[in-house]
Structure 1
């Protein structure tokens, strides 16, 4: 099951469970708030720990790939990216942190301003699902080797209807050589 369908299934299941929770009770609401805050702080702490692990490992292995063109402007070509494993992993953790911050802002609006209570429970579960899906966690915390789906650069997960899976970065030598020629760079063999 791909990630988007799994997220949809968890969201729909969590909504059904959340309907049965009596959020009108102030004590239950307080527990839901505490659970949400504890989950978000745990996620932020784990991502911070991963960034510390990445910095400590300091893997300076060169990583070259061609970024896919933007879907909003398909006439442009992908650009060559030359980085290190350390910098790539830090940028991936940064993306995960931004996603958590956006979720917290959204929850502040939904719960703080609109007074919705069910999303507290649902977003707590979705945050844990996000930890399960995070590739830096699999590599740096669980110790899985960086091969297959965990090979850098990470492939873009397909969307709900299967789109987006083919738009991953190109790592083959021909694509890298072609991108180097276009930017006037030199070829390293």
Structure 2
């Protein structure tokens, strides 16, 4: 998966070198595509939230969560609460990233972050456990078993 993501980044870099991104017609298309991708992400997040709430899985989930300083905290929750917490994290991350990208465009005129943030978050959403379980119907076993651990890009 990470090779695909790297290929996507480098392919996009190669593709955008062919265009003069400071021309107004390109900027308008890039803005429209970015706005569309953020709307698509937010709609998907909202839909996932409704699926989690309608499924109402009250199965118990217990795990230990690492804290700063090497300590661990025992967490007891339900699958529904865990999934809603992850949805909230994804939503907040999406909105924060959108605010940063829009600020960078408004203040400095940077267009490249908009291009990357049009593609990468959608790719990340598709490979997320929430999407895989609730929209693709995959069982929550193996890599999709809760609790989900964030990917370590430096792991071998």
Whether the TM-score (by the shorter chain) exceeds 0.5 is yes
Normalized per residue, the structure richer in helix is: 2
Q: Distance in 1 between matches of 2:47 and 2:102?
A: 25
Q: Does structure 2 conserve the Cα–Cα contact (< 8 Å) formed by 1:19 and 1:118?
A: no
How big is each residue's C-alpha offset from its partner over 1:41-82, in whole Å with a ceiling of 9 and x where there is no partner? 000110011001100110000101111233xx22xx211100
| Matched residue, 1:49 | 47
Find out whether 1:151 has 2:149 as its counterpart.
no
Structure 1 counterpart SS, 2:138: coil
Find out whether 1:39 has 2:37 as its counterpart.
yes
| Matched residue, 1:113 | 107
Name structure 2 gaps, 5 residues minimum: none
Structure with larger Rg: 1
Computed over aligned residues only, the root mean square deviation of the Cα atoms, in angstroms, reads 1.6
Q: Distance in 1 between matches of 2:66 and 2:111?
A: 39
Structure 2 counterpart SS, 1:119: helix
Following superposition of structure 1 onto structure 2, how do residues 79-118 of structure 1 map, counting pairs within 5 Å?
79-118=73-112
Please report the TM-score for the alignment, with normalisation by the length of structure 1: 0.77
| Matched residue, 2:155 | 162
Answer 1 or 2: higher relative contact order, Cα 8 Å, separation at least 6: 1
Structure 2 counterpart SS, 1:20: coil
Find out whether 1:138 has 2:136 as its counterpart.
no
Structure 2 counterpart SS, 1:44: helix
What count of residue pairs does the alignment treat as equivalent?
Answer: 156
Q: Does structure 2 conserve the Cα–Cα contact (< 8 Å) formed by 1:44 and 1:97?
A: yes
Find out whether 1:127 has 2:108 as its counterpart.
no
| Matched residue, 1:16 | 14
Q: How far apart are residue 6 of structure 1 and its match? A: 4.7
Structure 2 counterpart SS, 1:154: coil
Q: How far apart are residue 85 of structure 1 and its match? A: 0.3
